[in-house]
Amino acid sequence: MSAPSLQPLSVIIDLETPFDRAAVDAIVDAAFGPGRFAKTAERLREGAEPLADCTFVAREAGKVVGTVRLWPVVIGETRIAFLGPIAVQGGRRREGLGAQLVERACAAAEAAGLPGVLLVGDTPYFGRFGFVKADVRLPGPVDPRRVLLKMFGDRPLLSGDVRRG
């Protein structure tokens, strides 16, 4: 009698629910540590709630293994989404889950009628999703080479000051 074959578990990307918050916080804390609270990006998230229809988790067998959140911000006078944090459970990195989460969040932002998505990140990673260097000013110190923007359709890049939405 042969041993049963093991099937890989499938990952499902789904909207984050209030029940996911503790698991999401644990994954983000493990990925970024307490130093993330000192970053300028955190100033844009303080006191805000993520965009419920644009915030996702990756689940495997019901367990959260990855997360991406989008937040409301304004560039100049235009409401836009701010992506972050994006995090995947340590042992699950390099499997493409982060890419799937970014794509899903961007698609949801576009479907919600937002003109684009802003983030602070690495061009080599996020450039493949259409993010380019942005000419915007965040409310605090940040490496301007890491401030990236993706506009949907043929909309022009936004510029100006970024503030909480």
Looking at residue 47, its pLDDT comes to 83
CA–CA separation, 107 vs 56, rounded Å?
11
28, 87 Cβ separation under 8 angstroms: yes
Looking at residue 35, its pLDDT comes to 59
Place of tokens 């989404």: 81
Looking at residue 18, its pLDDT comes to 93
Helix then strand then coil, % of the chain, to nearest 5: 35, 35, 30
For the chain, what are the domain ranges? 11-164
Which one-letter amino acid corresponds to residue 113? G
CA–CA separation, 57 vs 51, rounded Å?
13
Identify the architecture of domain 11-164 in CATH: 3-Layer(aba) Sandwich (3.40)
Looking at residue 7, its pLDDT comes to 40
Looking at residue 40, its pLDDT comes to 77
pLDDT tens, N- to C-terminus, the chain (165 residues)? 444 444 445 889 999 999 999 999 899 888 776 656 557 777 888 888 999 999 999 999 889 999 999 999 999 999 999 998 999 987 767 778 899 999 999 999 999 999 999 999 999 999 999 999 999 999 888 999 999 999 999 999 999 999 988
Q: ω before 85 within 30° of 0 (cis)? A: yes
Looking at residue 92, its pLDDT comes to 66
CA–CA separation, 147 vs 64, rounded Å?
28
The sign of the CA dihedral 13, 128, 142, 72 is negative
| Half-sphere exposure of residue 25: CA atoms within 13 angstroms, side-chain side | 8
* Structural tokens at position 81: 């989404």
Looking at residue 37, its pLDDT comes to 53
Helix H or strand E encompassing 151: strand 147-151
